[in-house]
């Protein structure tokens, strides 16, 4: 954290460099993938019956605020799966989208931002250079070195005289 503060590295830039998305992305994606899987199940299956069940009594005071249905709404909004007015879709609406397994997977796993290229150091030398090109380069380098030596020797000779 100290390095992040000193060098002013934001979480988003670090996530883009490492290719890791925010935890909310992974939580929302996994929850919606499971919800889509349950939506494709027949109505007789227990997970589907539990998802569609309703408790008639109100919640007790001080009880749980975030129910599974509300978390699904929040996750649907995270991936911009909402109605025209911006409200979350009802089960009957998003369950139709979830029937197409590949389409649903693509919809709920889209990246929240583009990932940059990997931050790898470039190689020190290009291994694709042919031996002939390497010999030519070394000869040119030796010639340039000789020219520099001659220039240096000429300057030192004039300075001593």
Rounded to the nearest 5°, which phi and psi values hold at 17? -70, -40
Nearest Cα residue to 30 out of 79, 91, 89, 93: 79
Question: According to the model, what pLDDT value does residue 157 have?
Answer: 83
Length of the chain: 161
Give residue-wise pLDDT tens across range 113-139: 766 655 555 556 556 677 888 899 999
Q: Which range, of 58-67, 86-95, 145-154, averages the lowest pLDDT?
A: 58-67
pLDDT at 140: 94
Q: What is the mean pLDDT of the chain?
A: 82
Among 20, 3, 11, which residue's Cα sits nearest to residue 118? 20
Stretch 28-33: mean pLDDT, rounded?
A: 92
In this predicted structure, what is the pLDDT of residue 160? 76
Please tell me which residue, 129 or 98, carries the higher pLDDT value. Answer: 98
pLDDT band at 147 (very low <50, low <70, confident <90, very high): very high
pLDDT of amino acid 22: 86
Residue 110 has pLDDT above 90, yes or no: no
What is the arithmetic mean of pLDDT over 71-95?
83
Residue 119 exposed, middle or buried by CB count within 10 Å (0-12, 13-18, 19+):
exposed
Among 36-40, 126-130, 156-160, the range scoring the smallest mean pLDDT is 126-130
pLDDT, mean of residues 138-156: 91
pTM as predicted: 0.61
């Amino acid at each position: 954290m100290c390095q992040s503060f000193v060098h002013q590295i934001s979480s988003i830039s670090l996530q883009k460099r490492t290719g890791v998305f925010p935890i909310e992305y992974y939580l929302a994606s996994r929850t919606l993938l499971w919800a889509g899987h349950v939506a494709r199940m027949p109505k007789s299956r227990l997970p589907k019956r539990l998802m569609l069940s309703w408790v008639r009594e109100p919640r007790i005071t001080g009880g749980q605020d975030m129910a599974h249905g509300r978390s699904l709404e929040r996750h649907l909004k995270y991936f911009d799966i909402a109605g025209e007015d911006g409200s979350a879709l009802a089960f009957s609406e998003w369950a139709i989208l979830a029937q197409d397994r590949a389409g649903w997977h693509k919809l709920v796993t889209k990246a929240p931002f583009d990932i940059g290229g990997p931050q790898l150091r470039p190689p020190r030398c290009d291994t694709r250079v042919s031996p002939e090109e390497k010999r030519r380069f070394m000869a040119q380098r030796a010639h340039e070195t000789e020219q520099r030596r001659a220039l240096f020797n000429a300057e030192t000779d004039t300075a001593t005289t």
